[in-house]
Amino acid sequence: MMTSGMFTTWFLPGIWITIQVTLYSAALAAAVAFIIGTLRTSQLWIVRFVAGTYFEIFRGTSALVLMFWMFFALPLFGWQLVPMWAGVSALGLTYGAYGSEVVRGALAAVSPAQREAGIALSFTRMQRLRRIELPQAWPEMIPPFNNLLIELLKGTALVSTITVADMLFAGNLVRLGSNESAPIYTLLLVIYFAMAWVLTRGMRALERHAKRGIGQLPEKKPGLISRKLSARGETDQAGSQVAGGMG
């Protein structure tokens, strides 16, 4: 089995690194998602075009390739990124692009009548967005955001390939040190699963809270860890189905 030394020097800090990478890249992804998603609903075609280009490019790249590129290629252009920030940027920029489709779709699903009511009360476009459209779209965004968050958590394992000492990196060290692979990889899988479960519970609570905030009752949802995928692909397509996907 694992030696206790390995466990405390590498594995426990590794868990903490995984949590940190998840939180930081989720924060970056959320910022990107809201900014790009909102810009994609702009009335100016040039703004829509630029934001849409961002979306298509980052949706098309592989997060791992982007991460490698940031880690290995950027320094040779004179930009040295700390490994963890290379990982966080790659994950945040990629999942932010998927998230922007969630935001755009949920905004598009707000009924035009609400926009008209906002115009009739002389709100500016920014006020309508901030006070009417985003608050109404927000509860609809949470379930697809939950799916993306789990994908992001799984994606954090990639940072181990660019020398960030997350828990998979630590697990690989333990394998090399002990020559036993079954216990450590099983443990890793279980921890990732447990983290996914906790995140899903949290997002569920958030969804209930958000729905109560607009006077709706959330419906009960099935599923072992209660994560429902929509019928279509979710990572790339997180969005094209947003309007219809959550029923």
Partner 1 sequence: MNKWDWSNVDDFMPRFWDGVLVTLQALAIGSLIAFSLGLVWAIAQRSTLIWIRWPVIAVTEFIRNTPLLVQLFFLFYVVPEWGPSMSPLATGIVGLGLHYSTYTAEVYRAGIEGVPAGQWEAATALSLPKTRTWTAVILPQAIRRVIPALGNYVISMLKDSPMIAVIGAFEMLGEAQAYSNETFTTEALTVVGVAFIVIAYPASLLLRALERRLVR
Partner 2 sequence: MSAENSTSKETPNPAADGSELIRFDGVMKRFGSNVVLDHLDFTVSSGKHVTLIGPSGSGKTTILRLLMTLLKPDEGTIKVGGEYLTHEERNGKLVPAGETHIREVRKNIGMVFQQFNLFPNMGVLRNITEAPVHVLGLSKDEAEERARELVELVGLTEHLDKYPSQLSGGQQQRVAIARALAMRPQVLLLDEVTSALDPELVAGVLDVLRDIAHTTDITMLVVTHEMNFARDISDDVLMFDAGRVIESGSPEKMFSDPEHERTREFLSAVL
Q: Which residues bind partner 1 (CB under 8 A)?
A: 56-57, 59-66, 68-69, 72-73, 76-78, 150, 153-158, 160-161, 168, 171-172, 175, 181-182, 185-186, 188-189, 192-193, 196-197, 223-225, 227, 229-237, 240
Residue placing its CB nearer to partner 2 in the complex, 112 or 222 = 112
Sequence-separated (6 or more) residues with CB below 8 Å from residue 24? 88, 92
Residue ranges that bind partner 2, judged by CB under 8 A: 113-114, 116-117, 119-125, 127, 131-132, 135-136, 213-216
Sequence-separated (6 or more) residues with CB below 8 Å from residue 146? 199, 200, 203, 204, 207, 227
9's contact among partner 2, partner 1, none, with CB below 5 to 8 A by partner kind, is: none
CB of 172 to partner 2, least distance (A): 48
CB atoms within 10 A of CB 151: 18
Q: CA-based Rg of the chain, rounded to a whole angstrom?
A: 20
Residue placing its CB nearer to partner 1 in the complex, 213 or 244 = 244
Residue placing its CB nearer to partner 1 in the complex, 136 or 240 = 240
123's contact among partner 2, partner 1, none, with CB below 5 to 8 A by partner kind, is: partner 2
DSSP characters over 89-110? HHHHHHHHHHHHHHHHHHHHHS
Q: Are 200 and 225 in contact (CB under 8 A)?
A: yes
Q: How far apart are CA 186 and CA 184, in angstroms?
A: 5
Backbone angles phi, psi at 104, to 5 degrees: -60, -45
Q: What is the dihedral of CA 60, 152, 239, 132, to 10 degrees?
A: -130
CB of 247 to partner 2, least distance (A): 18
Residue placing its CB nearer to partner 1 in the complex, 134 or 174 = 174
* Side chain identity, residue 137: A
Residue placing its CB nearer to partner 2 in the complex, 142 or 157 = 142
User: Terminus-to-terminus CA distance in the chain, angstroms?
Assistant: 48
CB of 200 to partner 2, least distance (A): 24
144's contact among partner 2, partner 1, none, with CB below 5 to 8 A by partner kind, is: none
4's contact among partner 2, partner 1, none, with CB below 5 to 8 A by partner kind, is: none
Residue placing its CB nearer to partner 1 in the complex, 56 or 116 = 56
Q: How far apart are CA 233 and CA 148, in angstroms?
A: 11
CB of 195 to partner 1, least distance (A): 9
227's contact among partner 2, partner 1, none, with CB below 5 to 8 A by partner kind, is: partner 1
